[in-house]
Amino acid sequence: ETGVTQTPRHLVMGMTNKKSLKCEQHLGHNAMYWYKQSAKKPLELMFVYNFKEQTENNSVPSRFSPECPNSSHLFLHLHTLQPEDSALYLCASSLTGTSGSSYEQYFGPGTRLTVT
Amino acid sequence: AQSVTQLDSHVSVSEGTPVLLRCNYSSSYSPSLFWYVQHPNKGLQLLLKYTSAATLVKGINGFEAEFKKSETSFHLTKPSAHMSDAAEYFCGSSNTGKLIFGQGTTLQVKP
C-alpha cells in the first residue's frame, strides 16, 4: 500500500442516494487526481487539483462533484448516479512542478462503486 | 497529441520464463514514461519510470524497461516470471504533467 488512502473501499448505492468518496495522501504532494476505471476500458482521468485549485475537468457529468479543501484531502461527491457509473474510482497524488515537469503519481487502493 | 499503445491486451507465460510487455508512445516532446502494476482489487503501483536519464531503467521486483527513441518504445521485461507477477500492467506517458495510460496488458503466469 502507498501513502494514499481511500474510504470507503466498497460502496453500493441506489440511483437516488447521495454519497461521498474520500481520499487522503500523506506524501506531502500538492496535486491530486480522480480516475475512473471501468471493466474493459482504459483509465479515465476525471479531475485534477493543483494546490487545491481544480485545473482539469475531463467533461465529467455534474452528478460527480469534486472537492479539495486542502492539498492532503480530496472528495468526490456523488448524487443521482446511473448504473453505468459503477466502476473502481482511484485517487492519486503527485508533486507538481513547472510546466513540462512530470512526476510519478501514487495511487490509492480505490473505491469499488456499485450503483443499483 | 500524446498517446500510449500497449500492443498486447493479454500475455501468457510459464513460470520461470522471460516476460515481455510492449508499449509504444507518441509524443511531440521527450516524455517521461512509466510502468505501473495493478493486482486484483488494488490500486496502481509504480514499477519504474524513465525521465531522460539512463535509457535502461531498473524497477522493483526484477522488472526493467528500455527507452528506445528511434522506435518510440518502452517495453517492460523480466528475465524470469514468478506466479506473483500475474496482474494488469499499465504503461503511461507524460510530458506536460498529464499522465496518459495505455489500455493495459493482463499478464498470466502458468505453473
Each residue of B31-61: pLDDT tens digit? 899 999 999 888 999 999 998 778 899 999 9
Report how many Cβ contacts below 8 Å link chain A to chain B: 57
Nearest residue of B to residue A109 by CA position? B43
Q: What is the C-alpha to C-alpha distance for residues B76 and A39, in angstroms, rounded to an integer? A: 23
**pLDDT per residue as tens digits for the range A52-100:** 888 888 889 999 999 999 999 999 999 999 999 999 999 999 987 655 5
Q: Do B101 and A43 make contact, defined as CB atoms within 8 angstroms?
A: yes
Is the bond leading into A8 cis (omega within 30 degrees of zero)?
Answer: yes
Cβ distance A43 to B49 less than 8 Å, yes or no, reads: no
Taking the Cβ of residue B65 and every Cβ of chain A, the question of whether any pair is shorter than 8 Å is answered with no
- Cβ atoms A93, A106 nearer than 8 A: yes
And the C-alpha cell for B99?
A: 499522465
Neighbours of B12 (CB within 10 A): 12
If chain B, 111 residues long, is cut into consecutive pieces of 10 residues, what is the mean pLDDT of each piece? 91 98 88 93 92 88 94 96 97 83 96 95
